[in-house]
Chains A and B, each alone.
Chain A
């Protein structure tokens, strides 16, 4: 018997065909949807939740909801965008159900950037390019995002990583635009101090160094 995870993904040539399959309730259409979109959406859920196990729970709930509600998808946006929104909403619902981070916790997070952490490399600031973003920096960035308090993490992920507008992110989070801006500043200051040691370790111009070495 064919196992669902062994299916041939080429059965659907494009998103339109996949969508048709989902609407017809084709046997493995949901599995195809999962295989196409799960990696990116799991990363998004992980960034929002700050925890991999919870991210998997979010993704499971989101995919089940998406497959159940596929008839409500009107095609005004891409399928990926629609799924993305379901994942964001599912994650935020779970976060709201948690005990919210107190203002004191946020203050502690900001002030924990002690004198050492507030340092930068000044005019020799490293400007990482895509090539430079190796596994180590990516891991450092992931860990730094996960360490942010929830109220800052969600703002940073939606606004900076996911590229939502200030207005859209504020609406999704149910906060004012000005509150979002302050939280974003706090998140960015905290992240800057977290990833800076990594950038400093690389020296002033790692790209140039790499070229010289090769």
Chain B
């Protein structure tokens, strides 16, 4: 894919988000961000691609737990059971 076909990923959104205090956001600025994302075709395309990636990521099967970790945790749970039985 040639560089010419690539656009800068919405600089306007990046600037709006960077300007918004994440701890105490300005409501007007937040609304502006949300409106921008709704109306900007480029952002819509990027958001859609990320959504699909995240959905697939969420649905992917998790890797198994290592047998070493599993045994360690099982041992711990059994020790707890034993202590509860003794009590």
Q: Give residues in A with beta carbon < 8 Å to B.
A: 4-5, 25, 27, 30-31, 34-35, 38-40, 42-43, 56, 59-60, 63-64, 67-68, 103, 106-107, 110-111, 113, 115, 117-130, 132-133, 137-138, 141, 151, 160-163, 175-176, 178-179, 181-183, 185-186, 188-189, 191-193, 195-196, 199-200, 203-204
B46 touches A161 (CB 8 A): no
Contact of B70 among A38, A110, A133, A185 (CB under 8 A): A38
How close is B19's CB to chain A, nearest CB, in angstroms? 10
**At the interface, yes or no: B86 with Cβ under 8 Å from chain A?**
no
The range of chain B's interface size is 35 or more
A121 touches B23 (CB 8 A): no
A179 touches B24 (CB 8 A): yes
Of A27, A59, A128, the most chain B CB neighbours within 10 A belong to: A128
How close is B36's CB to chain A, nearest CB, in angstroms? 10
| Chain A contact surface mostly | helix
Q: Please name the 8 residue pairs, one residue from A and one from B, whose CB atoms are nearest each other, closest first.
A: A133-B56, A43-B62, A120-B9, A118-B9, A39-B62, A30-B77, A122-B7, A130-B56
**At the interface, yes or no: B38 with Cβ under 8 Å from chain A?**
no
Contact of B1 among A121, A127, A186 (CB under 8 A): A121
B77 touches A63 (CB 8 A): yes
A128 touches B1 (CB 8 A): no
A120 touches B6 (CB 8 A): yes
Residue of A nearest to B61 (CB): A39
In the bound assembly, the distance between CA atoms of A39 and B66 in angstroms comes to: 9
How close is B45's CB to chain A, nearest CB, in angstroms? 5
A–B Cβ pairs within 8 angstroms, 29 of them: A27-B81, A31-B77, A38-B73, A64-B77, A67-B77, A106-B22, A107-B18, A110-B18, A113-B14, A119-B9, A120-B8, A122-B5, A124-B1, A127-B48, A128-B56, A129-B56, A133-B60, A161-B54, A175-B23, A178-B25, A179-B22, A181-B33, A182-B25, A182-B33, A185-B13, A189-B14, A192-B46, A192-B50, A200-B6
Contacts of B81 in A (CB 8 A): 25, 27, 30, 67
A203 touches B24 (CB 8 A): no
In the bound assembly, the distance between CA atoms of A127 and B53 in angstroms comes to: 8
B46 touches A120 (CB 8 A): yes
B84 touches A192 (CB 8 A): no
A128 touches B52 (CB 8 A): yes
How close is B69's CB to chain A, nearest CB, in angstroms? 5
B74 touches A179 (CB 8 A): no
B71 touches A5 (CB 8 A): yes
Contacts of A119 in B (CB 8 A): 6-9
How close is B57's CB to chain A, nearest CB, in angstroms? 5
In the bound assembly, the distance between CA atoms of A199 and B24 in angstroms comes to: 34
